[in-house]
């Protein structure tokens, strides 16, 4: 079960509009906000984005006339949630198109989204780690035809940032050194 299967219509509508703002580059920290507000893991957050983004591509770039045209792009949801997502997406299609017309995506903002958390606290011996946790890379593709208000999503990927990996490695080295001293 995905996080959005328990959403009511208003929550789902709000989520779609928030993801759209993230897609055009207006909101940089949406993944961190979703992880915190929905109490889900980072991989589940990425999964939510992977579910919503193709729906946005469909309703904005292809302007479907019915829910049946949207349903094929919705993956891995139960039929009730799929139908609800298609219905809500169709109902806010004009609002999404209008939003994209007013907020044209900037490639520099759209391609890379940094995902930061406020503070990750280890033990006092490791010190405080305040680093970007991960970087979400959004790859987009040029539109093949028609008007393209929203560059179609090709893929989303998430990687631990180099700073975070280095900080963790350094912290574990210090912890190991302290354990060696204690044992001696």
> What is the per-residue pLDDT for 95?
93
Which of the listed ranges 30-39, 93-102, 111-120 does the model predict with the highest average pLDDT? 93-102
Instruction: Please count the other Cβ atoms lying within 10 Å of the Cβ belonging to residue 81.
Output: 19
Examine the pLDDT at 131 and tell me if it is beyond 60. Answer: no
**What's the predicted TM-score (pTM) here?**
0.67
Q: Read off φ and ψ for residue 29, nearest 5 degrees.
A: -110, 30
pLDDT tens figures, 1-55: 577 888 889 999 999 999 998 888 777 778 878 888 888 887 788 888 888 988 9
Over 70: is that where the pLDDT of 69 sits? yes
Domains of the chain, residue spans = 3-183
* Terminal C-alpha separation, the chain: 50
CA angle 142, 105, 119 (to 5 degrees): 115
Q: Is the pLDDT of residue 148 over 60?
A: yes
Q: Which residue has the tokens 């609002």?
A: 95
What three-state secondary structure class fits 26? coil
pLDDT at 173 over 60: yes
pLDDT mean over 102-118:
53
Report how far apart, in Å, the C-alpha atoms of 26 and of each of 30, 98, 107, 147, 177 are.
Answer: 10, 15, 12, 21, 45
Cβ contacts of residue 23 below 8 Å, gap of 6+? 53, 56, 105, 110, 138, 150, 153
Q: What average pLDDT score do residues 98-108 get?
A: 73
Q: How much is the average pLDDT of 103-129?
A: 47
Judge whether residue 122 has pLDDT over 50: no
Q: Which residue has the higher pLDDT, 175 or 69?
A: 69
pLDDT at 118: 34
Instruction: Report the pLDDT value the prediction gives residue 1, as an integer from 0 to 100.
Output: 56
């Amino acid at each position: 079960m995905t996080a959005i299967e328990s959403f009511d219509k208003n929550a789902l509508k709000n989520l779609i509009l928030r993801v759209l703002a993230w897609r055009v580059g207006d909101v940089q920290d949406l993944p961190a906000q979703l992880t915190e507000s929905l109490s889900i893991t980072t991989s589940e957050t990425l999964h939510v984005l992977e579910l919503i983004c193709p729906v946005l591509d469909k309703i904005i770039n292809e302007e479907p006339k019915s829910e049946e045209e949207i349903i094929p792009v919705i993956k891995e949801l139960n039929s009730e949630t799929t139908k609800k997502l298609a219905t809500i997406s169709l109902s806010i299609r004009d609002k999404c198109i209008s939003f994209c017309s007013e907020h044209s995506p900037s490639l520099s903002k759209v391609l890379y989204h940094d995902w930061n958390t406020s503070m990750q606290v280890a033990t006092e011996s490791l010190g405080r780690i305040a680093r970007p946790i991960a970087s979400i890379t959004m790859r987009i593709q040029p539109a093949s035809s028609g008007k393209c208000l929203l560059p179609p999503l090709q893929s989303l990927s998430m990687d631990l940032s180099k700073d975070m990996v280095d900080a963790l490695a350094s912290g574990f080295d210090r912890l190991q050194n302290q354990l060696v001293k204690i044992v001696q």
